[in-house]
Amino acid sequence: MAKLLMIQGTSSNCGKSLIVTALCRITKNRGIKVAPFKAQNMSLQSFITEDGGEIGLAQAIQAEAAGVVPNVHMNPVLLKPSGQQGIQIVVHGKIYKTLNSMDFYSEKKKLWENVTDSLNYLLKEHDFLIIEGAGSPAEINLLEKDIVNMAVAEYLKAPVILVGDIDRGGVFASLYGTVKLLEKYDSLFKGFIINKFRGHVDILSPGIKKLEELINKPCLGVVPYLDETGISDEDGVSMRLINFFAQKVNAPVKIVVLRLRYISNFNDFEPLRFEPDTELMYSLKKEDLLSADIIIIPGSKKTFEDLKLLRELKIDQTLRELAKNGVEIIGICGGFQMLGEKLIDPYMVESSLREFDGIGLLPVETLFYPEKITTQVEGCLCSEPSIKITGYEIHKGITYGHLGLFKITRTSMKQTLFDGIVCGNVWGTYIHGIFESDSLRRWLINRHRVKKGLNPIDYSFSWKKLKESFIDTLANTIEKNLDINRVWEIAGL
């Protein structure tokens, strides 16, 4: 039987995902076959597995930290907010239903069966399972509908470590309140971690000692606030990252990603922000667009709604003007669809509108279908075949036109085809993750260096190696600041 450990938090964004990522790497380094698990994840940051299944990005990163291949059992239920349409439910990597929040809870029995199926599979395949909770387990109005927090812990009889975020304030009250509201599960709580601390740990000692007495649980460590982990945030574009982008002002090439309301998979652009000669920022401000060398329209969960937003802000007009002036404009997935001439939705997949004019910078039209294309891809840039790419597709809709920017193979579908289109200084593609290709990143940036009279740079860094170093650094920091031996003792290792 696999050993178990569950990491829960007093709130969303308290650091559960990062701590699980670190523990996966620490465990891997001990030679133990470990895997991550999160029963239900709500996120617009997703990843496509080798067999074409869609899971939360956080679980894919955790699997990488654990040294195992991500699969759909690591996140059997993925929830993707879809605006007024409700919540799109992805079960074992495939779309199950789209429901409003009230109807969603009526699906508990069916979803719980999928959760336990995945747990039973992973427990047979691995020696150690590190489980992540979601939000707070102490949402007492929803306890009977829970399939991700205490329901999982109780089903497995898994020891739980509770994480509190001191940066947002009230950490002692939130830890105390969570444990006391869940007294029926008291035997499962084995300790707590204080995360995101700025300052000298000695200041906390009296409070920690008092809390340990009050809840009869040990403090297992105080983790410092990490300004930069190099690991993409799970939801939204955090203010921390926005501020980081704004600080890098001396780089010769400025890249602006449009900060869409329903932006998805913004992790596509993480490699660009670490390039030494780029300034990367998210913005919808006209002044930022006017000073940009490259503007990227990212993926969107609600393409029609975000295109409507760009029209209301007159950003579509600005983009057309900038394209005439030689600014490079790129569309990724939903952004690619927006750059076309028309978006046609006969099945009302995206909205109640059956047709919508695009920005009109690419000679293509997109027809939406209910079926979602999800697959990993590999290929090359058609104009320079030596520039190889890998990535993944995750979209509803097929775009028609003279495609030929990339030649790709859809690995899970064993299908070779052309993707994307380029028209002067405007191009679009369905492929997420292309900027993880070191050669493609340099190809993109170097063209603007040359345009500014600067010499091109042949190579700056390996994104794959840099990601590994980020995970190692995170793991070292967590290990240094936790009583790791006591953690292993709690897990029965």
For all residues of the chain together, what is the average pLDDT?
Answer: 94
Give the distance from CA 265 to its chain's centroid: 6
Contact at 8 Å (CB) between 174 and 13? no
Active site residues per annotation: 333, 432
122 bridge partner residues: none
Alpha carbon distance 79, 95 (integer Å): 10
Give the model's pLDDT for residue 247.
53
Q: How far apart are CA 492 and CA 486, in angstroms?
A: 10
Report, as an integer, the average pLDDT of 378-407: 97
CB under 8 Å to 42, separation ≥6 — which residues?
Answer: 78, 79, 80, 81, 87, 134, 235
Quickly tell me which residue has 């109005």 as its tokens.
Answer: 141
To the nearest whole percent, how much of the chain has pLDDT over 90? Answer: 87
413-457 pLDDT per residue, tens: 889 999 999 999 999 999 999 999 999 999 999 999 999 999 999
Percent of the chain beyond pLDDT 70?
Answer: 96
Q: pLDDT by residue (tens digit) across 165-194?
A: 999 999 999 999 999 999 999 999 999 999
Nearest to 64 by CA among 471, 473, 457: 471
Which band of pLDDT confidence, cut at 50, 70 and 90, is reported for residue 354?
Answer: confident
Distance CA 233, CA 57 (A): 9
- How far apart (Å, rounded) are the C-alpha atoms in residues 14 and 108? 26
pLDDT, tens only, 45-59: 999 999 999 999 999
Query: Mean of the pLDDT values across residues 113-133?
Result: 97
Interacting residues of 123 by C-beta distance below 8 A, sequence separation 6+: 1, 2, 129
Please report, as a single letter, which amino acid is at residue 432. H
Looking up tokens 């900060």 gives 259
What pLDDT does residue 104 have? 83
The pLDDT, as a whole number, for residue 241 is 46
pLDDT tens across 302-330, in order? Answer: 999 999 999 999 999 999 999 999 999 99
178-181 — which CB contacts under 8 Å span 24+ positions? 178/10, 178/136, 178/137, 178/138, 179/215, 179/217, 180/215, 181/138, 181/140
Length of the chain: 493
Return the closest-CA partner of residue 127 out of 3, 16, 242. 3
Q: Give me the phi and psi of 16, to 5 degrees please.
A: -55, -50
pLDDT in tens, 216-263: 999 999 999 998 787 776 654 554 445 545 456 689 999 999 999 999
Q: How far apart are CA 101 and CA 493, in angstroms?
A: 40
pLDDT at residue number 240:
46
Per-residue pLDDT band at 138 (split at 50, 70, 90): very high
d(CA 315, CA 307): 9
The residue type of 278 is T
Would you say 20 and 115 are in contact if contact means Cβ atoms under 8 Å apart?
Answer: no
Residue with tokens 């991700």: 148
pLDDT of residue 351: 77
pLDDT at 413: 87
What's the pLDDT at 299? 96
How many other C-beta atoms can be found within 10 angstroms of the C-beta atom of residue 462? 12
Confidence of residue 1 (pLDDT cuts 50, 70, 90): confident
For residue range 286-305, list pLDDT tens digits in order. 999 999 999 999 999 999 99
In this prediction the pTM is 0.94
Average pLDDT over residues 256-273: 94
Mean pLDDT value of segment 323-349: 96
**Is 162 exposed, middle or buried (CB count within 10 Å of its CB: 0-12, 13-18, 19+)?**
buried
8 A C-beta contact, residue 79 and residue 114: no
- For β-strands 34-37 and 128-132, DSSP reports them as parallel
Q: Are 438 and 459 in contact (CB under 8 A)?
A: yes
Tell me the one-letter amino acid at 51: D
Q: Is the pLDDT of residue 407 over 60?
A: yes
- Structure-block tokens of residue 198: 């700025």
What is the predicted pLDDT for the residue at 348? 87
DSSP code at position 199: S
Q: How confident is the model at residue 102 (pLDDT cuts 50, 70, 90)?
A: confident
- Beta-carbon contacts of 465 under 8 Å, excluding residues fewer than 6 positions away, are none
Q: Using alpha carbons, select from 142, 144, 36, 40 the residue that is nearest to residue 89.
A: 40
Residue 85: closest CA among 347, 365, 399: 347
Average pLDDT over residues 458-481: 96
Mean pLDDT of 405-417: 94
d(C-alpha 236, C-alpha 180), whole Å = 31
Name the 3-class secondary structure at 6.
strand
